Amino acid sequence: MTRKETFNFSSGPSVLPAEALERAGAEICNFGSSGMSVMEMSHRSPIYEGIFAEVKTKLKKALSVPDSHEILFLQGGASMQFSMIPMNLMGEKGCADYAVTGNFSDTAYKEAKKYGTVNLAASSEDKNHTYIPAQNEITTDPNASYFYYCANNTIYGTQWKYVPETGAVPIACDMSSEILSKPVDIKKYGVIFAGAQKNMAPAGLTVVIIDKALAGRELPFTPLMMSYGLMIEKDSMFNTPPCWNIYILGLVLDWLESRGGVIGMEKETVEKAKMVYDVLDESRLFNACAEPGARSNMNITFRTKSREIDAAFVKEAEARGLLNLKGHRSVGGMRASVYNAQPIEGILALAEYMRDFEVKNRV
Amino acid sequence: MTRKETFNFSSGPSVLPAEALERAGAEICNFGSSGMSVMEMSHRSPIYEGIFAEVKTKLKKALSVPDSHEILFLQGGASMQFSMIPMNLMGEKGCADYAVTGNFSDTAYKEAKKYGTVNLAASSEDKNHTYIPAQNEITTDPNASYFYYCANNTIYGTQWKYVPETGAVPIACDMSSEILSKPVDIKKYGVIFAGAQKNMAPAGLTVVIIDKALAGRELPFTPLMMSYGLMIEKDSMFNTPPCWNIYILGLVLDWLESRGGVIGMEKETVEKAKMVYDVLDESRLFNACAEPGARSNMNITFRTKSREIDAAFVKEAEARGLLNLKGHRSVGGMRASVYNAQPIEGILALAEYMRDFEVKNRV
């Protein structure tokens, strides 16, 4: 089966732009006239420093990052940020607000308790995380050091459609599964972070965008590598960064720009997601899991009334080259992740298959 | 300049086997019949779980890791281990012994002070880290939770030629720049760790080999991602691991096995290093920096009596395709890193150039 005959709906690591992979393949043994792979370059060499600076500039441009904020290229995934955020931001006040709208924000909420007092500012657990709390359902503490939420819930297929109003309290946001899919007003956030393996680059890179004014307040036992202040001071190079992953991010950003940047992506994303949700809304077999106002444009979760039919759907999909449509083990059903690099052909193939499958499995 | 015309002497990230890079390039867009790049695979998919398990098995075999020890694939580099080791091993005793023989062990020593009482068990600072303390120069505390040292000092070009005797005190060892270059008696160690970017894989992967009996004693504020116990329990997959780096490690291990494994590597390594040290010993222009008994087989540090001549040596080397021979900024001079993947042709070219350069710069 050639690459073109398959579409990968994995929730992450997930599909990357074919153009980026082809370019990486063409120069994998010898980048430019260097005689070296990017994987072999000293991170302190002028050639790699050039790549690094260029990727940072491209990301700054793509997301319109203001000069008040610094871009960091770190490791450890979003899970490392679950600890790094409280260790750095809990500060003197020693308390923080958390909105729990899924598995990952729940893990972050529990982890933060190691480092201070944590308020459950909002939760969607009462309806199994199928919705996003409205502003008036959030109880914020004006004395909190920060307010934390996860913008897109990969497992449950829900997405915040607004930025919570928190007054003077800085916002920390996990954007792992929606970053670069739409414009973001970075100034509204104290810290944004994202594991790269959904919309940016291969797993092993974590992008952090932090208001520099928030750095330098880490707790005394904070590990060196987990100090935002040190990472800002060293431009993410206190030690060797994940050089290859950063390079691939650059190739992905070139592709992104060629498609109109985050504005182009938002248009494509909304269209792509709508095509699948339209099938779900017309269907008598499939049901979307998320409430209409909270539907994610990145991860579309759905199911039939029967586990057996769900399993058959996933199995037949694989045979048609529609890969990784099984829902997360904690919720079951199906999940189609339609990140930036998911081509429209993949969406068309999925929609067609869903309609075909429904005809064959009339209820 | 084609790849074959250059030799990369970088101290890390550093040269990788050409065969491994070529294989990676051939399957970068489509691994096997998957229709996906390894960079796009869900870490929970059977195909990637297969790759992961196979790499672990290969590494276990290459280093003869006993069943008492677990192999972990982590992130954050050796610097993350500087914190992770005391956070996990300091335990009830609350004190540890450190041997400081260079920049990285010094950073580790200072970092450990955040988490307990730290004894300076040995130091080579009195002679600018040009030697390795002998066993009788090490003051160990039988009540220490662990004894820490760095086996090969990349910056200073020194290498421990013996494993310190510490009685019942477990040994924690930074093997970043010598792992896989010779056999190791793993049972002698409590924890071995190594950043991958010297002898294993691209930067962004840290290999830890830990005696399972030492896990589960972490301090209460230890971040989730820094608990050895949790990482063992989750087989390094609490969250998404650096999938691509692990895959490349597998390709490097295949190459390693084809060259006789670590026994073959040790033979090659000793020969390669000797060729350069022989030139140094015969030279009236160049001097080796490390004392004879402490000379590293991985990083060969040397200098002339003049900074100008050093600079000229490095500059002319670049023109000949001998790259990254400049010494670390903290010590100056030159450094030739001759890791596993440095081909013998690179050593021959370096030795020839050194002799040529000496003829032209007679003192």
Per-residue pLDDT tens over the stretch B23-56: 999 999 999 989 999 999 999 999 999 999 999 9
Output the average pLDDT for chain B.
96
Q: Return the structure tokens found at A302.
A: 């759905």
Chain A, chain B: beta-carbon pairs less than 8 Å apart: 224
Q: What confidence tens digit (pLDDT) does each residue in B157-196 have?
A: 999 999 999 999 999 999 999 999 999 999 999 999 999 9
Angle, alpha carbons A190-A193-A199 (nearest 5°): 140
Would you state the pLDDT for residue B5? 81
CA distance B353 to A265: 53
For A15, the closest of B25, B30, B40 (CB atoms) is: B40
- Cβ–Cβ contact A315 with B under 8 A: no
Distance from CA of B80 to the nearest CA of A (A): 6
- Cβ–Cβ contact A327 with B under 8 A: no
A contact residues 88-147, partner B, Cβ 8 Å cutoff: 107, 111, 114-115
Q: Is the pLDDT of residue B1 over 50?
A: no
Cut 0.95: pTM above it: yes
Would you state the pLDDT for residue A338? 96
Would you state the pLDDT for residue B263? 98
Question: Which residues in A198-316 belong to E strands, given as ranges?
Answer: 206-211, 287-288, 299-303
Tell me the chain B residues in contact with residue A46 when contact means C-beta distances shorter than 8 Å: none
Coil, strand, or helix at residue B7? strand
Coil, strand, or helix at residue A302? strand
ipTM of the complex: 0.97
- Cβ–Cβ contact A87 with B under 8 A: yes
Q: What confidence tens digit (pLDDT) does each residue in A286-323 have?
A: 999 999 999 999 999 999 999 999 999 999 999 999 99
For A30, the closest of B2, B24, B41 (CB atoms) is: B2
Would you state the pLDDT for residue B92? 81
Tell me the chain A residues in contact with residue B16 when contact means C-beta distances shorter than 8 Å: 37, 39-40
Query: Quick count: other Cβ atoms within 10 Å of Cβ A277?
Result: 18
Give the residue among B296, B253, B206 at the shortest CA–CA distance from B63.
B253
CB contact under 8 A, A221 and B30: no
Query: Can you give the pLDDT of all 363 residues of chain A as single tens digits?
Result: 456 689 999 999 999 999 999 999 999 999 998 999 999 999 999 999 999 999 999 999 999 999 999 999 999 999 999 999 999 999 888 999 999 999 999 999 999 999 999 999 999 999 999 999 999 999 999 999 999 999 999 999 999 999 999 999 999 999 999 999 999 999 999 999 999 999 999 999 999 999 999 999 999 999 999 999 999 999 999 999 999 999 999 999 999 999 999 999 999 999 999 999 999 999 999 999 999 999 999 999 999 999 999 999 999 999 999 999 999 988 999 999 999 999 999 999 999 999 999 999 976
Would you state the pLDDT for residue A92? 81
Instruction: Report yes or no: B115 and B67 within 8 Å, Cβ to Cβ.
Output: no
Would you state the pLDDT for residue B363? 62
Would you state the pLDDT for residue A363? 61
Average pLDDT on B212-235 reads: 97
For B225, the closest of A43, A76, A244 (CB atoms) is: A76
Structure confidence at residue B66 as a pLDDT band (50, 70, 90): very high
CB contact under 8 A, B42 and A6: no
CB contact under 8 A, A39 and B220: no
Average pLDDT on B8-21 reads: 96
CB contact under 8 A, A2 and B29: no
For B25, the closest of A6, A29, A242 (CB atoms) is: A29
Distance from CA of A242 to the nearest CA of B (A): 4
Would you state the pLDDT for residue A1? 46
- Cβ–Cβ contact B287 with A under 8 A: no
Q: Using CA coordinates, name the residue in chain B closest to A2.
A: B35
Distance from CA of A246 to the nearest CA of B (A): 10
Would you state the pLDDT for residue A4? 66
Residues contacting residue B275 through CB under 8 Å, at least 6 positions apart: B347, B348, B351
Q: Is the pLDDT of residue B116 over 80?
A: yes
